[in-house]
Amino acid sequence: MMQKISITLAVVAIICLSSCKQAQNTNEDSLTSRQTETLFPKGNKIISNNFTGTAWLHMMIANDSTLYARMGNVTFEPKSRTNWHSHPGGQILLVTNGVGYYQAKGKPAQLLHKGDFVEIPPNTEHWHGAAPDNEFAHIAISLNTDEGGVIWLQPVTDEEYNNIKK
């Protein structure tokens, strides 16, 4: 009798633990999939002196001569960022994932999350990039490209980056 009960106890425990494990796994899978889900592909690693750290570009619209626009998805690893730069025709950023910053020269940095967007007026010196502990992805749409291409300037120093007021 005692042996039967012990076996039953063991079987019940195994079934319960196994089914719990399965439910947790499904949950972990869906969370992982949600966390890594991005609207657009990551593309190729950017090899450029105009960035600090590692960033990726998926080019979507190369300079279009009827729309006068250029569009790409940029993914920044934590801490990575563009140099200071400006766009003669302006730019829109649409944040698709993660946490990052946009800063116009002489103004406080803006903290950005998925779903935020930024209007960057023509000829405004600025940078954008990831927060220290988060990846960051945005669609960048350069406008009125008949006015000219991006004008790259100096890197955002570690001092500038680390002094962002949180």
Tell me which amino acid residue 113 is. Answer: H
Torsion of CA 148, 153, 159, 160, to 10 degrees: -30
Using CB under 8 A as the binding rule, whether residue 11 contacts its own copies is answered as no
Using CB under 8 A as the binding rule, whether residue 106 contacts its own copies is answered as no
Between 29 and 158, CB nearer to its own copies = 29
Using CB under 8 A as the binding rule, whether residue 94 contacts its own copies is answered as yes
Determine which residue in the list 7, 12, 59, 151 makes contact with its own copies, applying CB under 8 A. Answer: 12
What is d(CA 166, CA 163) in angstroms, rounded to the nearest whole number? Answer: 9
Structure tokens at 71: 């569009």
What is d(CA 115, CA 109) in angstroms, rounded to the nearest whole number? Answer: 17
Least Å distance, CB 156 to its own copies, is 24
Using CB under 8 A as the binding rule, whether residue 63 contacts its own copies is answered as no
- Residue 90 CA to chain centroid, in angstroms? 21
Q: Given the rule CB under 8 A, which of 46-54, 102-110, 137-145, 157-165 is the region that contacts its own copies? A: 137-145
Cβ(91)–Cβ(117) below 8 Å: no
Cβ(142)–Cβ(66) below 8 Å: no
List of residues contacting its own copies (CB under 8 A): 1-2, 5-6, 8-9, 12-13, 16-17, 19-20, 23-24, 26-27, 30-31, 33-34, 37, 39-40, 60-61, 64, 66-69, 71, 89-90, 92, 94, 96, 114-115, 117, 119, 121-122, 139, 141, 143-144
